[in-house]
């Protein structure tokens, strides 16, 4: 018989103290059942004549991390979190919140509605709603300024950053930080306080009205400067903090409630919430049903170039013992220099303390001896992107690695299945495709070929998660160049751009159009940054699709010796050491000559044309990868494009964007462009199917 779900809230007693205990794993999200449970328990506790004080506590790893985000798209149910917080604040007996883990969003608001807050030393707290395109909607914008002042309150809400318990106590947010048993301390503390202390009555930071308004005005100006006048949530946060001074609590709460509703209804918040769940869904690999990640303590990386060193740093930063193998003395020294420079910069910028930097480096073994690989649990091959070199290296790795080790290749384009065969241990070999800079970029594509074992896949995925990365699964079939999800879509993106470049647009115009859409950089700025010779080498080594139009402009630029930022000259010209360039007139001349040679009369493209053509190419390529089973779900494509290629997060990614337009309209727009370049804009079968069945990509996310 199915076990009745335990109620997520229990009322316990310890003498004259009532304990309201929340238990809603995994993160005690404050869904409707939890809210109702807390309200009922509180009313019962306060009404009980043996109750002198109440403690609100949570079982599990954390105090509530906020409202249940999934409920934002549902019909609101009472009590709302705001109503529950008001009920707590108005309680006629002292209420103490006992915090462990991360008290975030509505969880911290609940604690601020309590009359007192105590926390374990390791606890952290924050209001990250801005990362979801919204603001604290349960009284946080009114109570936090009262507790810590406008300046610090605006900092916390506009950055969404977490603060530790120690800092929170210094700010006046927490009353007691303990190293002892939290529940015991909380009950003792509750017994020690005699009176309620409603936060709404706290005027400590509201007395200096002039100073308060100066903080508000300065922040409003800063937000407008940095984010523009239309940045909804940030501006509404400032308005609400202003209201906390100027309006009575009830009215301030109304202002907050209306601002919250506007933000939640915005396309931006919809996109950011989708991104939140898409990143979590991406980590759900089918192989998890068959295997668990094996323990990885020692990692070996073969190749200490930019990628190899970056992966080594990411592993050191996550506490792994790292062996980095490079060729010869000079290779070892170059890798040591690269990694050393990273730690020097991090210490200089205060990101790490000297001690932390030194401690990390004690776990690094740098060598030019491959036979050290026998000790590693996981080996990442990160040498040059050349099939023969990689195949030979993987064969050596396969021979040296211990029987239960997992072998990963960082190839971004080469045939993964063939490389796995070359290692002699295809079942133990998978793809681990990091994105530059590997110590920073959150995205890792886990390449899965037909012969890979579930254990190897899950161990690689587990390693990526342990590095704090977001792993996305990319299934590749024999004979297919890796390319995985990201680079396959990038090829379509670049191809669409190159066609417009050949037909009349300029690099700067195309880049400008994509920046105004929300990308940080346009395709030609990215090309210059990554090095034009790398892409050139790949084009030369890859068989051309005879049915696809080939644009030779990029090749001609490289053949002029213009390689991008590394040669201060590419699509743009760069002053020494500068990352911002000016359009390269010689390239414009080269393009004009190229068109004349091909008999192409340049035509005008509006920025909207440019965006539409590129986005249609991206969505269509995504649909093709879904049809080929390379991507498991559309939201995985969204995650790859947002984390790896700068697709604006507030839009939720290209596949979510396509749903906002609808697959039917996308399919009809593609049909207009398809005759121009069927390989790019000929609708993929999955898209045609969704359009015909009036379905959305989101319907495929559930699968």
- Tell me the closest approach of the beta carbon of residue 21 to ligand T1G, in angstroms: 19
Nearer to ligand T1G, 81 or 186 (CB): 81
CB atoms within 10 A of CB 55: 29
Establish if 69 lies at the interface with ligand T1G (CB under 6 A): yes
Residue nearest to ligand T1G (CB): 105
Residue of the chain from 102, 178, 346, 423 that contacts ligand T1G (CB under 6 A): 102
Establish if 84 lies at the interface with ligand T1G (CB under 6 A): no
- Tell me the closest approach of the beta carbon of residue 568 to ligand T1G, in angstroms: 42
Q: Which stretch binds ligand T1G (CB under 6 A): 24-32, 367-375, 389-397, 515-523?
A: 24-32
Nearer to ligand T1G, 157 or 300 (CB): 157
Establish if 26 lies at the interface with ligand T1G (CB under 6 A): yes
Q: Which stretch binds ligand T1G (CB under 6 A): 105-113, 227-235, 361-369, 404-412?
A: 105-113
Residue of the chain from 8, 66, 133, 644 that contacts ligand T1G (CB under 6 A): 66
Q: Give the angle 327-333-334 at the CA atoms, nearest 5°.
A: 85
Residue of the chain from 18, 20, 22, 65 that contacts ligand T1G (CB under 6 A): 65
- Tell me the closest approach of the beta carbon of residue 163 to ligand T1G, in angstroms: 14
Residues 6+ apart with CB under 8 A from 683: 620, 623, 667, 670, 671, 674, 691
Among 12, 78, 89, 129, which one carries the catalytic annotation? 129
Q: Which stretch binds ligand T1G (CB under 6 A): 68-76, 180-188, 520-528, 537-545?
A: 68-76
Specify whether 502 is catalytic.
no
Residue of the chain from 94, 105, 310, 564 that contacts ligand T1G (CB under 6 A): 105
Establish if 109 lies at the interface with ligand T1G (CB under 6 A): yes
Question: Residue 569's beta-bridge partner residues?
Answer: 564, 573
Residue of the chain from 134, 439, 456, 584 that contacts ligand T1G (CB under 6 A): 134
The Cα–Cα gap between 20 and 190 comes to 13
- Under rule CB under 6 A, how many of the chain's residues touch ligand T1G? 25
The Cα–Cα gap between 641 and 432 comes to 17
CA-based nearest residue to 470, from 206, 594, 649, 664: 649
Q: Give the angle 236-241-247 at the CA atoms, nearest 5°.
A: 110
Establish if 471 lies at the interface with ligand T1G (CB under 6 A): no
The Cα–Cα gap between 458 and 287 comes to 7
Residue with the two structure tokens 């089918």: 286
Specify whether 109 is catalytic.
yes
- Tell me the closest approach of the beta carbon of residue 465 to ligand T1G, in angstroms: 9
Among 12, 71, 78, 109, which one carries the catalytic annotation? 109
Nearer to ligand T1G, 137 or 564 (CB): 137
Cβ pair 611, 514 in contact under 8 A: yes
Establish if 129 lies at the interface with ligand T1G (CB under 6 A): yes
Beta strands in 344-448 (DSSP E): 364-367, 378-381, 406-409, 429-434, 443-448
Establish if 610 lies at the interface with ligand T1G (CB under 6 A): no
The Cα–Cα gap between 653 and 642 comes to 6
Q: Which stretch binds ligand T1G (CB under 6 A): 10-18, 22-30, 222-230, 470-478?
A: 22-30
Establish if 70 lies at the interface with ligand T1G (CB under 6 A): yes
* Two tokens, residue 249: 């609590």
Residues 6+ apart with CB under 8 A from 230: none
> What phi and psi values does residue 375 have, to the nearest 5 degrees?
-90, -15
Establish if 405 lies at the interface with ligand T1G (CB under 6 A): no
Residue with the two structure tokens 């995994």: 26
Question: In Å, how far are 69, 165, 567 from 173, measured between CA atoms?
Answer: 25, 9, 53
Q: Give the angle 642-644-646 at the CA atoms, nearest 5°.
A: 50
Nearer to ligand T1G, 55 or 85 (CB): 85
Question: In Å, how far are 81, 242, 466, 557 from 113, measured between CA atoms?
Answer: 11, 19, 35, 63
Site string for ligand T1G, 265-304 (x = CB under 6 A): ------------x--x------------------------
Q: Which residues bind ligand T1G (CB under 6 A)?
A: 26-27, 29, 65-70, 81, 102, 104-106, 109, 128-129, 132, 134, 136-138, 140, 277, 280
The catalytic residues are 109, 129
């Amino acid at each position: 018989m199915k076990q009745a779900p335990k109620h997520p809230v229990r009322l316990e007693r310890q003498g004259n103290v009532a304990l309201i205990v929340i238990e809603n794993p995994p993160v005690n999200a404050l869904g409707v059942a939890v809210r109702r449970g807390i309200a009922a328990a509180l009313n019962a506790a306060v009404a009980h004549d043996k109750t002198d004080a109440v403690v609100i506590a949570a079982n599990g790893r954390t105090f509530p991390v906020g409202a249940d985000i999934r409920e934002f798209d549902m019909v609101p149910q009472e009590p709302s979190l705001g109503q529950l917080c008001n009920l707590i604040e108005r309680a006629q007996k002292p209420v103490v919140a006992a915090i462990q883990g991360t008290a975030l969003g509505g969880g911290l608001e609940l604690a601020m509605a309590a009359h007192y807050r105590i926390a374990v030393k390791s606890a952290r707290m924050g209001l990250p709603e801005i990362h979801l395109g919204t603001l604290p909607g349960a009284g946080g914008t009114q109570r936090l300024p009262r507790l810590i002042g406008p300046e610090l309150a605006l900092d916390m809400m506009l950055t969404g950053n977490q603060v530790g318990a120690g800092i929170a106590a210094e700010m006046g947010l927490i009353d007691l930080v303990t190293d002892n048993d939290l529940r015991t301390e909380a009950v003792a503390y509750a017994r020690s306080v005699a009176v309620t202390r409603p936060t709404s009555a706290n005027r400590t930071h509201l007395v200096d009205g002039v100073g308060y308004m100066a903080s508000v005005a300065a922040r409003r100006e800063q937000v407008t400067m940095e984010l523009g006048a239309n940045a909804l949530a940030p501006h509404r946060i400032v308005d609400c903090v202003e209201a906390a001074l100027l309006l009575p609590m009830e009215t301030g709460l109304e202002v907050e409630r209306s601002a919250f509703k506007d933000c939640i209804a915005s396309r931006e918040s919809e996109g950011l919430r989708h991104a939140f769940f898409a990143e979590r869904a991406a980590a759900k690999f089918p192989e998890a049903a068959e295997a668990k990640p094996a323990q990885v303590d020692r990692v070996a990386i073969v190749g200490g170039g930019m990628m190899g060193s970056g992966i080594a740093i990411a592993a050191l930063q996550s506490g792994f013992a790292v062996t980095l193998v490079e060729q010869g003395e000079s290779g070892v020294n170059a890798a040591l220099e690269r990694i050393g420079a990273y730690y020097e910069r991090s210490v200089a910028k205060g990101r790490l303390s000297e001690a932390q930097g030194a401690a990390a480096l004690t776990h690094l073994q740098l060598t030019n001896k491959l036979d050290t690989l026998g000790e590693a649990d996981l080996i990442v091959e990160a040498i040059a992107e050349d099939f023969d070199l990689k195949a030979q290296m993987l064969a050596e790795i396969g021979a040296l690695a211990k029987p239960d080790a997992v072998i990963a290749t960082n190839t971004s384009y080469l045939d993964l299945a063939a490389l796995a065969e070359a290692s002699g241990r295809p079942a133990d070999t998978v793809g681990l495709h990091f994105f530059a800079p590997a110590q920073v970029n959150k995205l890792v594509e886990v390449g899965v070929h037909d012969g890979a074992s579930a254990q190897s896949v899950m161990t690689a995925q587990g390693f990526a998660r342990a590095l704090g990365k977001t792993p996305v699964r990319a299934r590749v079939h024999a004979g297919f160049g890796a390319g995985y999800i990201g680079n396959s879509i990038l090829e379509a993106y670049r191809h669409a751009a190159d066609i417009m470049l050949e037909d009349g647009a300029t690099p700067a115009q195309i880049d400008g159009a994509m920046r105004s859409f929300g990308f940080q950089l346009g395709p030609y700025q990215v090309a210059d940054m990554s090095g034009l010779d790398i892409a050139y080498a790949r084009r030369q080594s890859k068989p051309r699709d005879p049915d696809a139009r080939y644009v030779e402009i990029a090749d001609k630029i490289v053949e002029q010796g213009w390689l991008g930022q590394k040669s201060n000259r590419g699509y743009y010209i760069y002053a020494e050491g500068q990352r911002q360039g000016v359009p390269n007139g010689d390239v414009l001349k080269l393009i004009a000559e190229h068109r004349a040679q091909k008999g192409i009369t340049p035509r005008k493209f509006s920025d909207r044309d440019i965006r539409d053509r590129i986005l249609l190419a991206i969505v269509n390529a995504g649909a093709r990868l879904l049809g080929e089973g390379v991507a498991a779900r559309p939201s995985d494509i969204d995650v790859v494009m947002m984390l790896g290629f700068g697709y604006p997060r507030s839009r939720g990614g290209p596949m979510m964007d396509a749903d906002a337009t609808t697959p039917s309209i996308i399919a009809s727009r593609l049909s207009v462009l398809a005759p121009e370049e069927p390989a790019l804009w000929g609708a993929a079968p999955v898209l045609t199917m969704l359009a015909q069945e009036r379905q959305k990509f989101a319907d495929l996310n559930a699968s």
